[in-house]
Structure 1
Amino acid sequence: MGAYLLGVALFALGIAVTIALHEAGHMFTARAFGMRVRRYFIGFGPTVWSVRRGHTTYGLAALPFGGFCDIAGMTAQDPVTAEEAPHAMVNKPWWQRVIVLSSGVITNVLVGVIILYCVAVSSGLPNPNPDVTPTVGEVVCVSDQIDAQTLAECTGTGPAGEAGVLVGDRILAIDGDEMADFRQVRDTVLTRPGEDVVLTVDRGGRILDLAVQVESVTRLDPQGAPYEAGAVGLSSAPIPDAVKTYGPLQAVPATFAFTGQLLQGTVEGLAAFPTKIPGVVAAIFGAERDVEGPMSVVGASRVGGELVERSLWNVFWMMLASLNFFLALFNLVPLPPLDGGHIAVVLWEKVRDFFRRLRGLAPAGPANYEKLLPLTYAMAATLLTIGLVVIVADVVNPVRLFG
């Protein structure tokens, strides 16, 4: 329990540092361009602690679900004093505004890359080209499924064991169809209850064809409904060289390659995000929780605790790196009040003024954010609602990686 609580605390701290660095990216670049930073806060809501240094108030707020960097004159509707006017963001060149607005995103990407580099040279990154040939790790009996985590008791060696399959056999094909990995083996057997199949295996260089009668068992779908499935009583052996450790120089290209994979996965996750929300709502009322669904600070910290409890520090740090990538790409969504929404407005001003110049007109000045207020409020309300729903799900039915 002590290791679990340590992991929860460390991952929560990691999230807080991630948010702090994101906002620090905005703050430092704003100052570099002579903009006035009024407030730099971690959290929202009532102030828990604050201190003023120069023109900036630093503080912690009661709700640790984000943070903000208040830069004077972020929009034309943001009142500024006569003393602040020369330092207002809205009065700076468009490219400086874009850099400041995107600096939080850039900071999170850099933090994620640095974490992955450290993991690469210490405990290693997933091997991009492992040998995934399905290899038997265990031969067992088969039985019906009782609930999401439990199978009925059984005895014997199971259909595969009775057919002569041994631990260490490499499954090359089923009924002549090549098997790319153990997941394909499982999915193929699953659809063949009661049938006879031929497993082609490689046993130390000898190729054998073993006839196996697939047993019919009861399995439960994600909603808990029973269905008939096939089982032969095999489990996968660990993939050899699944993790690869690199030297300081070799880790550079490996880190960038793995970063690309995580960023691609993050983009796909963001695209699927809206479709995952109904499942989160259903989980509040008892449905099975999707381990690949959205998690809040609460849920992510609990998963961090599970990882530390099992000494899976490399996965812990890769998860924190992935969180940085998610925060970066999520903030690029071109909708206010996200950073991407503000960047989109600045770029729209630039494009608009370009066409005005072609027509012989003067620049129209900063955009009127009052017209965007309904969209901003709607987006903020949506994010707040989703956040609360995910937090509730993480409390009553949290994601558990290890059952």
Structure 2
Amino acid sequence: MLAYIFGVVLFALGICVSVALHEAGHMVTAKAFGMKVRRYFIGFGPKIFSFRRGETEYGLKWIPLGGFCDIAGMTALDEVTPDEAPRAMWRFKTWKRTVVLAAGSVTHFILGFIVLYLMAVSMGLPNALIGKAQVDTVSPCVQNATTNEQVLNPDCKPGDPAPAKDAGLRPGDEIVSVNGVSTPTYPDVIAKVQALTGPTRLEVRRDGQLVPLTVDVAQVDRPVADASNPQAPPQVVKLGTIGVGFPTMLHFSPVAAFGGAGAFTADMFAQTWDRLLEFPERIPAVVHSIFGGERDPNTPVSVVGASRIGGEAVEAGLWSLFLILLASLNFFVGVFNLLPLLPLDGGHIAVTWYERVRDWLRGLRGKAAGGPVDYTKLSAVTMVLVFVGGAVTLLTVTADIVNPIRLQ
């Protein structure tokens, strides 16, 4: 129980640090361009303490659920004093305002990458997302099996087939093609081999060189779970196999880790975008779970739910899952914050570039610049989006309390 509580607190602390650095990204870039930053606070609600350094007040508040960076003149509607007016944010060039507005999300992306890089050089990165088709183990034989235990620990007898061993496959070999068809990931290798039998051409990368091999694929009994009904007993079917295992974790040198973490980051960005597109259609499932329905593990979670999962991961000793979850949350927040919707940073970026394009078109017609956008005309749309966002947050928090997603 103590490990669980420690994990929840640690994950929540990680979120707080991420938010604090998000706002620091806005502050640092704004100061670098000469904009006036009035205040930088972590948290909301009553003030615990603050201090002033130069023209900026720094402080901490009681509710650690966010933070803010108060930049003078973020919009033309913000009141500024006469001495602040020349340094009001809205007076700066479009690209500078864009950099400041995007800096928060970029900070999340950098944090996510740093987490993955540190994993790559220490505990390794899960191969489930990378899918590298690098051979980890070569089985002494392959046999019919009705359980996964029998698959992993065959009781080899004289005469049992050993396709990979006989073909000369070695741990460390990377399978790049099967029968001339490229297999960039190990699921590609498995899918291709399962449909084959008999002599099959493989091409592997060994010590930087491409080596052709011929392996005699064996058709054996294998247990296969029903994807549509995970609770049902596995069905035993005939599948092709060569008797190799692929690594669950990939380890990298400090230099190679940049490439490994980069590839992993790209995969997580793609998955984040997919989750965002699926977000609206999964909300009904969240409502269903609140009223007693089974919680779909693919439904959105709040900070509360993510922290609970982080706590369970620590309790189970799954630190890699804890860190992957923390990195993925940073990527999600970073991407979500760039959506062109007010009051998100992406909405402010969209308005900034609308002004720039509008003034460019007016200039082509010989007209003067149109001036800053009147945000009061967007207040109705902004309030609707705030209401929808608040409702979704309330739903996910409620679901994460009454019917949380669990690891087991």
TM-score clears 0.5: yes
CA RMSD of aligned residues (A): 3.6
1:231 aligned partner, one-letter code = Q
5+ residue gaps, structure 2: 155-160, 164-185, 200-214
CA contact (8 A) 1:160 1:233 kept: no
Q: Which residue of 2 aligns with 1:384?
A: 390
CA apart distance, 1:59: 3.6
CA contact (8 A) 1:280 1:294 kept: yes
Query: Map of 1:203-218 to 2, 5 A cutoff?
Result: 209=219
| Change in CA separation of 1:244 and 1:77 when aligned onto 2, cut-off 3 Å | same
CA contact (8 A) 1:47 1:59 kept: no
5+ residue gaps, structure 1: 138-158, 173-179, 189-197
Q: Secondary structure at the match of 1:57?
A: strand
CA apart distance, 1:295: 1.0
CA contact (8 A) 1:130 1:242 kept: no
| Change in CA separation of 1:380 and 1:58 when aligned onto 2, cut-off 3 Å | farther
Match of 1:299 among 305, 320, 329: 305
CA apart distance, 1:360: 0.8
1:49 aligned partner, one-letter code = I
Q: Which residue of 1 aligns with 2:104?
A: 104
Q: Secondary structure at the match of 1:43?
A: strand
Measure the CA separation in 2 of the matches of 1:211 and 1:360: 77
CA contact (8 A) 1:116 1:318 kept: yes
Query: Map of 1:183-198 to 2, 5 A cutoff?
Result: none
2:70 aligned partner, one-letter code = D
Q: Which residue of 2 aligns with 1:142?
A: none
Matched, 1:119 2:119: yes
Deviations 1:301-337 (A, max 9, x none): 1111111112211221121111111111000100100
Matched, 1:347 2:349: no
Q: Alignment identity in percent?
A: 47
CA contact (8 A) 2:101 2:345 kept: yes
CA contact (8 A) 2:125 2:249 kept: yes
Measure the CA separation in 2 of the matches of 1:299 and 1:329: 19
Q: Secondary structure at the match of 1:287?
A: coil
Q: Which residue of 2 aligns with 1:146?
A: none
Q: Which residue of 2 aligns with 1:47?
A: 46
Q: Which residue of 2 aligns with 1:27?
A: 27
Q: Which residue of 2 aligns with 1:231?
A: 235
2:20 aligned partner, one-letter code = A
CA contact (8 A) 1:7 1:307 kept: yes
| Change in CA separation of 1:129 and 1:384 when aligned onto 2, cut-off 3 Å | closer
How many matched pairs?
Answer: 347
Worse-superposed segment, 266-275 or 29-38: 29-38
Measure the CA separation in 2 of the matches of 1:340 and 1:4: 36
Q: Secondary structure at the match of 2:81?
A: coil
CA contact (8 A) 1:41 1:59 kept: yes
Match of 1:245 among 244, 251, 267: 251
Measure the CA separation in 1 of the matches of 2:124 and 2:78: 48
Q: Secondary structure at the match of 2:119?
A: helix
CA apart distance, 1:28: 1.0
Measure the CA separation in 2 of the matches of 1:387 and 1:308: 25
CA contact (8 A) 1:308 1:316 kept: yes
CA contact (8 A) 1:65 1:297 kept: no
Query: Map of 1:66-77 to 2, 5 A cutoff?
Result: 66-77=66-77
| Change in CA separation of 1:161 and 1:372 when aligned onto 2, cut-off 3 Å | closer
Match of 1:288 among 267, 283, 294: 294
CA contact (8 A) 2:27 2:37 kept: yes
Q: Which residue of 2 aligns with 1:267?
A: 273
CA apart distance, 1:61: 4.2
Measure the CA separation in 2 of the matches of 1:322 and 1:16: 15
Q: Secondary structure at the match of 1:67?
A: strand
| Change in CA separation of 1:385 and 1:213 when aligned onto 2, cut-off 3 Å | closer
1:272 aligned partner, one-letter code = E
Measure the CA separation in 1 of the matches of 2:2 and 2:306: 18
| Change in CA separation of 1:259 and 1:166 when aligned onto 2, cut-off 3 Å | closer
Q: Which residue of 1 aligns with 2:371?
A: 365
Measure the CA separation in 1 of the matches of 2:2 and 2:133: 37
Measure the CA separation in 2 of the matches of 1:67 and 1:83: 26
Measure the CA separation in 1 of the matches of 2:278 and 2:398: 21
2:368 aligned partner, one-letter code = A
CA apart distance, 1:67: 2.5
Measure the CA separation in 1 of the matches of 2:387 and 2:252: 45
CA apart distance, 1:280: 0.9
TM-score using structure 2 length: 0.75
Query: Map of 1:33-182 to 2, 5 A cutoff?
Result: 33-44=33-44, 46-53=45-52, 54-127=54-127, 128-131=130-133, 161=146, 167-168=152-153
